[in-house]
Amino acid sequence: MSDKSEQTVVVGMSGGVDSSVAASLLVDAGYRVHGLFMDNWEDEEAYCTAAEDFQDARRVAEELDIPLQRVSFASEYRDRVFSYFLDEYAAGRTPNPDVLCNTEIKFRAFLDYALRLGADWIATGHYARTGMRDGRVRLLKGRDRNKDQTYFLHGIRQEALERVLFPVGGLPKEQVRELAVQAGFHNHDKKDSTGICFIGERAFRSFLSEFLPARPGPILTPEGREIGQHQGALYYTIGQRQGLGIGGVPGASDAPWYVADKDVARNSLIAVQGHDHPLLRHVGLYASELHWLGDPPELPLRCSAKTRYRQADQACQVRACEDGRLEVRFDHSLRAVTPGQYVVFYDGEECLGGGVIDAAIREDDGILAETGT
């Protein structure tokens, strides 16, 4: 490609320190840099901090002397992310909308918009890297293993990878904050965003009940004994401890209770005692809606995988099922593998792709499906 001074990069600027430093590094590298702030949710009660975040992004853009545009992708977000989010919860699964937000908004809608503006590249503040091998761009883990975000990026398209820059992907978080201090950015100590934007500061159950009304029902032991009442089976996830309200069960110890299964059809929860109860341990899973960042690998495949963000890589064997799904068997059992979440595959540093967890396999070969056992 031509000289960097002739290349335009549109940076997704969220108002946070990571995207701010990403923009600064690109300016220092000599690119023509434009900032773009994405509004992905419209809420008349203003639970999101979008207004404050935009002002943070605007101040950084002014300090870098780069233009900043504000664009709404709220319609695309509702159609491509939020509708899926609600459908999955209604089916009794626990979705991860952050993956779809990257796939459909940040690396599709945003990329398409930037290309229409004449951009050569887009950039974000994600902790990930890219590298070339065998004529194809590969998605690689960020250098800071505690911040690596490839789990959330496994669903993006190859053509998007060919157009994206991850300026902070090779840096530890501490250095990113130091660079923000050196640049004089006011947001150098801003806390990292957590959770889902459209929920904001509200309690998750309260938010979800606005779209999926509460249906109280029984909490049962695996033997079928009723030990409490839940507010709606849809609102709970496998392995959850908080919010069960179980206490003083006759004949039971004082150990905490955890959700081991959900039966949405019967509107009931199955609860067990103990963080590592056998019903919370899983040796494998079935996955569908698969996406590979390159050509699909030959199966069976020996690799590693994650079933949740920041989980250590788990050695596993992957094989094809006759119904088109994958069966993944782990070398060691995992706790609370959750239908609706994603399993993401790795070959060392490289993220290979992933899929949606349809069902978890217990140590006794019992299948925990998305709507109950």
Question: pLDDT digits over 51-100, tens only?
Answer: 899 999 999 999 999 999 999 999 999 999 999 999 999 999 999 999 99
* CATH number attached to the domain at 214-273: 2.30.30.280
Task: Render pLDDT for 197-206 as a digit per residue (tens, 0 to 9).
Answer: 666 656 788 8
Contacts of 115 (CB under 8 A, 6+ apart): 163
Q: Which CATH architecture has domain 4-182?
A: 3-Layer(aba) Sandwich (3.40)
Q: At a CB cut-off of 8 Å and minimum separation 6, what does 180 contact?
A: 17, 20, 21, 24, 187, 188
Residue 351 annotated in active site: no
Fold of 279-369: Elongation Factor Tu (Ef-tu); domain 3 (2.40.30)
Q: Is 369 exposed, middle or buried (0-12, 13-18, 19+ CB in 10 A)?
A: middle
Domains 4-182 and 279-369 share a fold: no
- Give the mean pLDDT of the chain: 92
Q: Percent of the chain beyond pLDDT 90?
A: 83
Write down the domain spans for the chain: 4-182, 214-273, 279-369
Q: Which of 197, 303, 316, 351 is catalytic?
A: 197
Has 48 been annotated as catalytic? no
Q: Is the pLDDT of residue 50 over 90?
A: no
Q: What is the pLDDT of residues 177-190, one digit of tens each?
A: 999 999 999 999 99
pLDDT at 198: 66
Instruction: Please give the average per-residue pLDDT across 264-278, as a whole number.
Output: 94
Structure tokens of 294? 């390159």
> How high is the pLDDT of residue 204?
81
pLDDT band, residue 369 (cuts 50/70/90): very low
Mean pLDDT of 102-122: 97
Return the CA Rg of the chain: 22
Q: Is the pLDDT of residue 112 over 80?
A: yes
Residue entry with tokens 């290349």: 7
CA distances from 315 to 114, 175, 202, 215, 259 (A): 39, 31, 37, 39, 26
User: Which is catalytic among the residues 101, 303, 316, 351?
Assistant: 101
- Which position has the token pair 């401890």? 241
Q: How confident is the model at residue 48 (pLDDT cuts 50, 70, 90)?
A: low
pLDDT confidence of residue 373: 41
